[in-house]
């Protein structure tokens, strides 16, 4: 069951990158807030059912981390995805796994094996293959901003594992996490809510984006709850392959041959599997 949920999460996560790309023209803060609009009702539903550790110092620090860093990282990824091809920025998501591993080793005592080193080398090889002949894209800020965003999210995965040990209610946690992201980005949008003209079809896109985000969050949490977390992460990273194919056919991002895109993305996924071992 966990494998099905993890693959579903990968499929939905790939679509999230496409929706972010298709939302270009809408302020990134509005897009990021809209994709989390389901969170406040979920939190209100969870509050009488779960006892949150509001008074614990580690919980308070983590909530500050979400408000400052995660809200910023998600907005940053939305901003970059609106301005760069999905086939350029999405494969960089693999490096979040590297950030997760490094933080787990440095702060939480996880061991670093030869398999992990091999995984890093394989991911590097896949990215070099992907960007071969396309290095000019690194002259723009978008890959660098994406890299910063995915590294922050990678650090968050390592911290999240420790938080869930102390607060083992994943859905309740998602409700708080997403609500904070929603509130921070809704506030950051400010007057843009009133001065930005958004067509109905774009509002429909944002509504679908929000639904996909909710399903992706729930399926990921349930997969982690039912199966081994490293394996879930590895399966979810197949989203890199899925996003490459979808963007090639649906968004017509055909600057590179499909064979090269799939081969490079596949190599990156293999490296992620090794890191997650």
Q: What is the pLDDT of residues 106-161, one digit of tens each?
A: 777 666 677 777 877 887 787 777 777 777 888 899 999 999 998 998 888 778 87
**Structural domain spans, the chain:** 2-275
How many separate helices (H) and strands (E) can be counted in the chain?
15, 0
Name the token pair of 114: 């030869």
Phi, psi dihedrals of residue 130, rounded to the nearest 5°: -65, -45
Predicted model pTM: 0.87
- Rounded to whole angstroms, the maximal C-alpha distance in the chain is 56
Which of these ranges, 24-33, 148-157, 264-273, has the smallest mean pLDDT? 264-273
**pLDDT band at residue 229 using 50, 70 and 90 as cut-offs:** low
User: Is 65 within 8 Å of 215 (Cβ atoms)?
Assistant: no
pLDDT of residue 255 exceeding 70, the answer is yes
Pairwise pLDDT comparison (90 vs 77), residue with the higher score: 77
Burial degree of 236 (CB within 10 A; 0-12, 13-18, 19+): buried
**pLDDT band at residue 231 using 50, 70 and 90 as cut-offs:** low
């Amino acid at each position: 069951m966990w494998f099905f949920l993890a693959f579903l999460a990968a499929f939905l996560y790939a679509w999230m990158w496409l929706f972010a790309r298709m939302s270009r023209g809408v302020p990134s803060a509005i897009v990021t807030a809209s994709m989390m609009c389901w969170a406040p009702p979920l939190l209100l539903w969870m509050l009488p059912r779960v006892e949150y550790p509001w008074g614990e110092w580690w919980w308070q620090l983590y909530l500050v981390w979400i408000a400052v860093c995660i809200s910023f990282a998600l907005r940053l990824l939305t901003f970059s995805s609106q301005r760069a091809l999905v086939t350029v920025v999405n494969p960089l998501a693999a490096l979040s796994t590297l950030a997760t591993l490094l933080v787990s080793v440095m702060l939480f005592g996880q061991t670093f094996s030869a398999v992990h080193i091999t995984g890093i080398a394989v991911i590097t090889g896949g990215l070099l293959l992907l960007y071969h002949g396309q290095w000019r894209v690194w002259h723009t800020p978008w890959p660098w901003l994406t890299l910063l965003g995915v590294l922050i999210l990678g650090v968050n995965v390592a911290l999240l594992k420790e938080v869930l040990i102390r607060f083992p209610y994943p859905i309740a946690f998602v409700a708080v996490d997403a609500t904070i992201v929603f509130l921070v980005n809704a506030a950051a949008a400010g007057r843009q809510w009133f001065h930005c003209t958004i067509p109905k079809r774009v509002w429909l896109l944002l509504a679908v984006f929000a639904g996909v985000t909710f399903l992706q969050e729930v399926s990921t949490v349930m997969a982690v709850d039912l199966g081994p977390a490293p394996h879930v992460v590895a399966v979810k990273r197949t989203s890199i392959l899925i996003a490459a194919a979808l963007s090639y056919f649906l968004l017509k991002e055909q600057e590179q041959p499909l064979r090269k895109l799939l081969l490079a993305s596949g190599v990156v996924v293999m490296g992620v599997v090794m890191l997650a071992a």
